[in-house]
Structure 1
Amino acid sequence: FPTQKSLGVFRTVPWLTASLNLMITGFAPRDTNVVGIDKKVFHVEVLASTPVINGFESPGIVRKTVVKDQRVLLDCKANGNPIPRIMWVFPNNIVLPAPYYGSRITVHRNGTLDIHVVRISDSVALLCIARNEGGEAKLQVQLEVTEGVEKPWLRNPPTESVQLSDGIINLNCSVEGKPSPEITWILPNGTSLLRGTSIFRFHHRFDGTLVIRDPSVSEIGRYRCVGRNSVGYVERTVTLKSNRKPEITNKYSSLVSIINGENLHLNCLSGGQPLPKLTWTLPNGVILTRPTSVYDRGMYLCQTTNEHGSSSLSVSVIVISDILIHFVSGVSVR
């Protein structure tokens, strides 16, 4: 409002009551003089804003899990113009306005619902309503009360090694906790299997066991079992190993001959799990891939070794000296 006009002085203090009535106090116009009377008409528009709960115009549904016999606080802080009225609605249309003070339940002035000792029977849907002349906002809280919560824990050792075998292999993973944990198996290639699902040779049973049917060497690796609930997770690792000793898959059935000065290449292809260590023993201990000489002839030995045994391959090599052919003019070769 203006405080000074050419035809008079207005001293005003405007304010709004809770019922949206505009009150103006201290209004002392001087609007008459010898010339006449001056009038000023004010048009006042009061804007009301819809309540906002916890900073959201549409807060939606909040899910809250608590443990029996503990204290729970559910926030319902509302802002708006004018200041919203807050109430909590329980099942059977039981309404508790803010503030409310009971022996077990309190609704604080800021809208927070305070249940001092929560019971299993308090697992219900609650509704907080903030309302003013501009509208209303609602917050729904789905309260779940449990007997107690417990981080997942393993009944099996956290790590284990299993040997590859024919038929069916069962990898066990027993996880306990409250709420009951969700168990996931993660295969060596990163694929995840939930309970009751199958893929290729693998099936994850509902008891947490991973079943591998007719496994081969390609299934060897680390398998991770993860148990998770709302308060934590636990992990178990099972390593599937092979007990196969190395096998050399290529053979040399005869002597290997090479001309003096050429490069010598000998293959030694080996399989096995774990992957074997491969060594070549040369006749004179020199590097294999340099140009050969007549001194490189002899027996070459390839040996592969892992924790389950070893295999070897022997190759006999002869080096042929250079053959020089001289042509003599006038002499024929028959």
Structure 2
Amino acid sequence: KTAIVTFHWFKLIHLFPYTLFSTGAVMSANTRVQRFEVQSNGTFVIHNIQLQDRGQYLCSARNPHGIDKMMVTLVVLAHAPKMMLSRHKDMTVYLGNSALLECQAQGLPVPNISWVLPDRSVVRAVSNSQQKVVLFTNGTLQVKNTNYLDKGIYKCIASNAAGADMLSVRLQIAALPPTIQEQLRENHTIYDGQSAFIHCTAKGTPGPTIRWVTFTGAQLRPSQFVNGNLLVFPNGTLFIRNPTVKDSGNYECVAVNSVGVAKRTVNLQVKRSSTTARIMSTSAHSTDVRYGGQLSLNCSATGKITWSLPDGTMVNGIPQSDHNWVHTKRYVMFDNGTLYLNEVGMKEEGDYTCYAENRIGKDEMKVHIKVVADAPIIRNNVYSVVKVHFGETVILNCSAKGEPTPTITWTSPAHRAIVPLSNKYHIANDGTLHIQKIQRFDSGNYTCSARNVAGIDKKVIHIEVLVSTPVINGLESQGVIRKTVVKDQRVLLDFVEKHQLYLTHFTMIKLIGDALQ
């Protein structure tokens, strides 16, 4: 009879040469302790192998007849981390920008990456992208919106069970004070009524903010209108509309960022004009424009410019860079004297007058605008007759060309306008008329009208409704049918339609008593 075998496994350690000692950890068959398991057949299983699991293992098999032993040496393969990049690096970023610090390492098992920051805090896990310091899965560390507190040494540590390796990055924060691209001092002379654009462009890191200071001490910031004639554009340009002598003086541009200040001073001299205003050039005195199009009318002149529209409306100038006006106003006059018309219609036809004026006098020039439109033309405009059977649907085509696009309407034989959408009628977008379930009273002339501001065109289509003669039991055009019956018996009178019929009436005759004798 086979004896039952008992298995035991021992982990051995070397204390002295040639001497083996058990660790005292003994595992029997069908047992599991943490990561270690001995199966019923004596197999020893180590889960999630670690570097410390390497060494010699002794298997002991015993039964009543004796004992046997087997030694197994376990070698765990592992490679300590090794940095793929230089272990020492210097990096400089501009104030306010983001810094990307790379860290790449190889090893077995795959090394874990962590960073030690200059303030000795440690970043180990992949971070939320919304945080200032973010650790990505590839080991790169991002420092957002850097400031001077972020400078220092950043240490990347790559570690696994076999060891660790490290690299360091010294981060420096740099900044550039503002520099103004134009002359720092400039004299600018203009005549009264002549608008001025004074530029101020600055560079720096972080990007500088720009403001203007007038000779009165007033502070002007971008997109701020002051006194109705002073405006600073987002690019730093100062706009002075229709200046007078009292606007003469020093205007100072100040560019500022966190590391410095730059200034530019412009001395503006506004002189009184010694000659009367004069228009030097305009658009052609007569100009055609397509209906619905756009039109620009030029007027180059000395002095203040205004435009008079055909309806008498006066239009004054606005700054050239204020593009929003173009989309919100039907008429816009730019500071260079150009009048812009958006979506020209028939009411824009007429005379436009450009006025130039200064304190000495004025000048004017007229431009006549003619709005050009094409009258509608209906395609295949011939009188036609359409025959349709009673109860069917008929489709009448009517398409037209013209500028602006003509509007299509239909009138019935009763000279009434047809509603575009109803149970009976439907007018499609292309002008096609659909008439449902045609009846006798739908016969007659249908008129299609194509209209726009330039005129009208019409087309007439005649509908003829076809009605079949009633046929009863196969007998056509017979008013009386005779049938012989037996007195006092029930009679069935058949009525069979062979066609689609339109019956105004039919007569049932009741037989009573001896009426048919």
Query: Structure 1 length normalisation: TM-score?
Result: 0.35
State which structure, 1 or 2, has the greater radius of gyration over its C-alpha atoms. Answer: 2
Higher relative contact order (CA 8 A, sep 6+): 1
Query: Structure 2 length normalisation: TM-score?
Result: 0.23
Higher strand proportion? 2
